[in-house]
Copies of this chain bind each other. A is one copy, B any other.
Amino acid sequence: MNQRETMTQFGKEALLQANISELLPFASLDEDQTRKMIDLATVHRVKQNKTYFDEGDRAENFFLLIDGFLRIVRTTKEGDQVVVLHIAPGQMFGIAKAFESVNYTATAQAASEGLALSWPSELWDKFIQDYPGFQKATRRAVGTRVTEMQDKLISMATHQVERRIAHAILRLLEQAGKETEDGVAIDFPLTRQDISEMTGTTLHSVSRCLSKWQRDGLVRSERRRVVVRQPESLPV
């Protein structure tokens, strides 16, 4: 199901050269410590729409996303998918250990082809002890996510579809915005269906909404791609 690869010497070097330490969620490690961490890691390359792990899987590892974007998804018995949140490079995910949970409670699905490091869950507590800042970083990550989920909840409870879509897109811009000559683009493939699963609506409503915004010159939307020209003008 996952395309896991044991790390090669080549991979290690490449990662080190790519200044991976800047991506580590806890700064101030010397070169030795960084190397030690990476030695313990496994590399995962995951193609678009494939998963890093699935809801219910035994939580054997925790992850750090290096490149690409992913969505954390939960599926109902009825088969409806709901995108709970998105993860950007530099963020940890699959941190079931932070919740004393034995299994993953959601699926991590690649929004775009991606690269992640993982470590065995057994190392979690060791990392907290050995690396100053790791604890703080994970706490902050959890906090951010809780807030994010609360915001989403509030948005769903009080706003109507258009504003919910606007909110979702603005959040994606923050996490994955990339300047282009045309405006700020969301830096991974994103379908109308994806957006509908983030906002609890239908792809039809999303399509209508984007069409309208395009008519008004607020966005430029193509197949699997959204570029925002006037973020300020989106309905709050």
Chain A residues within CB distance 8 Å of chain B: 74, 76, 78, 80, 82, 84, 97-101, 105-106, 136, 139-140, 142-147, 149-150, 152-154, 156-158, 197, 199-200
Contacts and interface: CB of A to CB of B under 8 A. Distances in A.
A84 B150 CA distance: 7
A97 B143 CA distance: 9
A100 B136 contact: yes
Given A84-B150, A100-B136, 15 more contacts: A80-B157, A82-B153, A82-B158, A98-B139, A98-B143, A99-B142, A99-B143, A99-B144, A100-B143, A105-B143, A105-B146, A149-B149, A153-B153, A153-B156, A158-B200
A143 B101 contact: yes
Instruction: Tell me how many chains of this kind the complex includes.
Output: 2
Nearest to A145: B146
Provide the main secondary structure of the chain A interface. Answer: helix
A209 to B, nearest CB: 16
Closest CB pairs A-B (n = 4) = A99-B143, A157-B200, A100-B139, A80-B158
Contact of A154 (B76, B136, B146): B76
A99 B149 contact: no
A57 to B, nearest CB: 16
B74 A106 contact: no
B136 A82 contact: no
Contact of A149 (B82, B100, B150): B150
Contacts of A158: 76, 78, 80, 82, 200
A117 B142 CA distance: 24
